[in-house]
């Protein structure tokens, strides 16, 4: 048989092989490294996404400042990964469902969650995840990987009802070591679900580096093991993430089943405001990665093509500052919830044991 080889154990032949593709369109100077896809012909959209990325970055910096000054509980910064979230927000349709993790403010903002709602959530007020905008989207998930099977459930419902909708779930490189990821990948392939997996491979899971997380050469190939397509994109290249994610979403909508997109990027910030990354990684490594900054790269592309200039940049910075300040004020002006509200959304009918505790809190509130 062609391809058969004789070795010490007898005749063996290759029964499977795979390739993982990596897509990049723009180099660090914002210059095309290959012919650009059709979506790059729509400068208005790229400009509007650039604006969204700058707003996201402004919000990010402000959220850290609020936490440092005691006005926010905690926060997971997104510095350096803005292109991944902008692409997710841009490419999904309104009727699609986002099942996010905690580092995804950028996508949520583009889908209509407000900055005030995000601040409420990170300030410890669950009303922030009961957002007004994309009601079908899930709240962000903090327990690692636990949102991934939920996404399969949502995708299964879409398929069962025959709806042309797609579920997109996002998670980190660390989440891909969890059983929930493997189990969902398997089910998504077997059931041919309209589900797109987006891995934000930012190289770190708190203090665990990518190379101690897995021996796989790529995270994308984990999809191959489950029987569906996985690929890498340059996660700092907005055009690359949008193009490949868009193809994966179209495929899922057309009944072609799941895809895993591994967006290769870098977490330029601490893990959260409760972390100090200088204790486990070198400043030289971070510095090295700053040159791949996704916001700078897409700005260079826009400037190179005369779609953007310094005047516009200054105006944008001012607009972003004002919008963020307004959102912060609305957040700070929101009266806190009554402590007993923590009991209100857990059960349809509150068990007797908790009813007593709830009453106790109400009475305490009345006395103080
Ligand atoms: C089930 C569970 N175990 C542990 C944690 C603690 N924890 C919070 S973030 C994190 C690392 C996640 O890394 P990754 O998936 O790469 O996402 P990133 O934060 O880098 O975006 C861990 C272990 C958790 N939140 N949930
Ligand atoms: Mg990570």
323 CA to centre of own chain: 22
Report the share of the chain in percent with pLDDT over 90.
90
Predicted pLDDT of residue 365: 75
- Inter-residue contact 289 to 80 (CB < 8 Å): yes
| CA 201 – ligand 2 centroid, Å | 6
Tens digits of residue pLDDT in 148-204: 999 999 999 999 999 999 999 999 999 999 999 999 999 999 999 999 999 999 999
Mean pLDDT within 254-277: 98
Indicate whether 3 pLDDT > 60.
no
- What residues does 26 pair with on adjacent strands? 32
Average pLDDT, the chain: 96
pTM over 0.85: yes
Angle at 172 between CA 170 and CA 177, to 5 degrees: 115
Distance 174 CA to ligand 2 centre (A): 5
Cβ–Cβ < 8 Å for 151, 129:
no
CA 323, 309, 233 angle in degrees (round to 5)? 80
Which of 31, 68, 127, 280 does the annotation list as catalytic?
A: 280
Task: Please report how the helices 82-91 and 43-68 are oriented relative to each other, as an axis angle in degrees rounded to 10.
Answer: 130
pLDDT at 4 > cutoff 70 = no
Is residue 171 within 8 Å of 101, Cβ to Cβ?
Answer: yes
* Euclidean distance between CA atoms 349 and 344, whole angstroms: 9
**Per-residue H/E/C for 7-30:** ECCEEECCCCCCCCCEECCECCCC
Annotate 232-248 with DSSP letters as a single string. EEETT-HHHHHHHHHHH
Atom 12 (ligand 1) nearest CA = 205
pLDDT tens by residue, 230-248: 999 999 999 999 999 999 9
Average pLDDT over residues 272-301: 98
Top-confidence residue, 306 or 341: 306
> Judging by DSSP bridges, how do beta strands 5-7 and 204-205 pair with one another?
unpaired
- Considering only CA atoms, which residue is closest to atom 25 of ligand 1? 143
Read off the pLDDT of each residue in 53-79 and give the average, rounded to a whole number: 98
How many Å is the Cα radius of gyration of the chain?
22
The predicted model gives 220-237 an average pLDDT of 98
Reported as a pLDDT band with limits 50, 70 and 90, residue 1 is very low
Per-residue pLDDT at 368:
67
| Phi-psi label, residue 205: left if phi above 0, alpha if psi -120 to 50, beta otherwise | beta
Interval 310-365: pLDDT, tens: 999 999 999 999 999 999 999 999 999 988 888 887 889 999 989 999 999 999 87
Gap between the Cα atoms of 26 and 309, Å rounded: 19
What confidence score (pLDDT) does residue 5 get? 67
Under DSSP, is residue 230 helix (H, G, I), strand (E, B) or coil?
strand
pLDDT: is 342 or 136 the higher one? 136
Is the distance from the beta carbon of residue 194 to the nearest atom of ligand 1 less than 6 Å?
no
Q: Quick one: tokens of 25?
A: 């369109």
Contact yes or no for 200/103 (Cβ under 8 A): yes
Contact 210, 201 (CB under 8 A): yes
User: Which atom of ligand 1 is nearest the CA belonging to 205?
Assistant: 13
Is there a contact between 252 and 258 (Cβ–Cβ < 8 Å)?
Answer: yes
- The better pLDDT of the pair 171, 11 is held by 171
Q: Are 201 and 235 in contact (CB under 8 A)?
A: yes
- Ligand 1 pocket, residue 121 CB under 6 Å: no
Residue 23 clears pLDDT 60, i.e. is over it:
yes
Is-contact 133 118, C-beta < 8 A? no
Please, what are the domains in the chain?
20-337 (3.40.50.970)
CA distance linking residue 118 with residue 352, whole number of Å: 33
The active-site residue, picked from 56, 271, 297, 299, is: 271
Q: Which of 226, 300, 220 is nearest to 260 (CA)?
A: 220
Pairwise CA distance, residues 130 & 154, whole Å: 18
Cβ neighbour number for residue 25 with a 10 Å cutoff: 23
In this prediction, residue 32 carries a pLDDT of 98
Instruction: Return the closest-CA partner of residue 326 out of 55, 6, 12.
Output: 55
CA dist list (Å): 171 to 39, 163, 175: 25, 25, 6
**Which ranges of the chain would DSSP assign to H, the alpha helix?**
43-68, 82-91, 105-110, 115-122, 147-160, 179-190, 210-213, 221-226, 238-253, 283-290, 294-304, 310-332, 352-367
Mean pLDDT of 81-99: 98
> Residue 342 has what pLDDT?
86
Give the residue, out of 106, 174, 275, with the most ligand 1 atoms within 8 A of its beta carbon, to mutate for a pocket test: 174
The answer to whether 280 is a known catalytic residue is yes
Residue 267 a catalytic site member: yes
Do residues 168 and 139 make contact, with C-beta atoms less than 8 angstroms apart?
A: no
User: What is the spatial distance between Cα 91 and Cα 251, in angstroms, rounded to a whole number?
Assistant: 13
Q: Express each pLDDT in 254-263 by its tens digit.
A: 999 999 999 9
């Amino acid at each position: 048989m062609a391809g058969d080889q004789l070795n010490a154990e007898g005749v063996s032949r290759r029964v499977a092989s795979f390739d993982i593709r990596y897509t990049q369109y723009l180099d660090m100077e914002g210059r095309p490294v290959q012919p650009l896809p059709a979506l790059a012909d729509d400068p208005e959209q790229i400009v509007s996404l650039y604006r969204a990325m700058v707003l996201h970055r402004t919000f990010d910096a402000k959220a850290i400042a609020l936490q440092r000054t005691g006005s926010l509980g905690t926060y997971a910064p997104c510095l350096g990964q803005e292109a991944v979230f902008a692409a997710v927000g841009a490419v999904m349709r309104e009727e699609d469902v986002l099942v996010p993790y905690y580092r995804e403010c950028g996508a949520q903002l583009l889908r209509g969650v407000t900055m005030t709602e995000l601040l409420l959530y990170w300030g410890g007020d669950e009303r922030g995840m009961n957002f007004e905008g994309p009601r079908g989207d899930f709240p962000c998930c903090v327990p690692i990987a636990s949102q991934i099977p939920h996404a399969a459930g949502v995708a299964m419902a879409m398929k069962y009802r025959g709806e042309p909708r797609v579920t997109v779930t996002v998670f980190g490189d660390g989440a891909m070591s969890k059983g929930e990821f493997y189990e969902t990948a398997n089910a998504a392939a077997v059931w041919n679900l309209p589900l797109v997996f987006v891995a934000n491979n930012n190289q770190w899971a708190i203090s665990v580096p990518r190379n101690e997380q897995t021996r796989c050469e790529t995270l994308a190939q984990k999809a191959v093991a489950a029987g569906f397509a996985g690929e890498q994109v340059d996660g700092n290249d907005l055009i690359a993430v949008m193009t490949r994610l868009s193809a994966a979403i179209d495929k899922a909508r057309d009944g072609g089943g799941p895809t895993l997109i591994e967006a290769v990027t870098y977490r330029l910030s601490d893990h959260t405001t409760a972390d100090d990354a200088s204790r486990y990684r070198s400043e030289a490594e971070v510095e090295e990665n700053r040159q791949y900054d996704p916001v700078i790269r897409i700005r260079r592309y826009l400037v190179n093509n005369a779609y953007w200039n310094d005047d516009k940049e200054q105006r944008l910075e001012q607009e972003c500052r004002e919008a963020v300040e307004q959102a912060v004020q609305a957040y700070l002006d929101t009266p806190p919830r009554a402590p007993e509200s923590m009991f209100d959304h857990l059960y349809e009918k509150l068990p007797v044991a908790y009813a007593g505790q709830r009453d106790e809190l109400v009475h305490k509130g009345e006395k103080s």
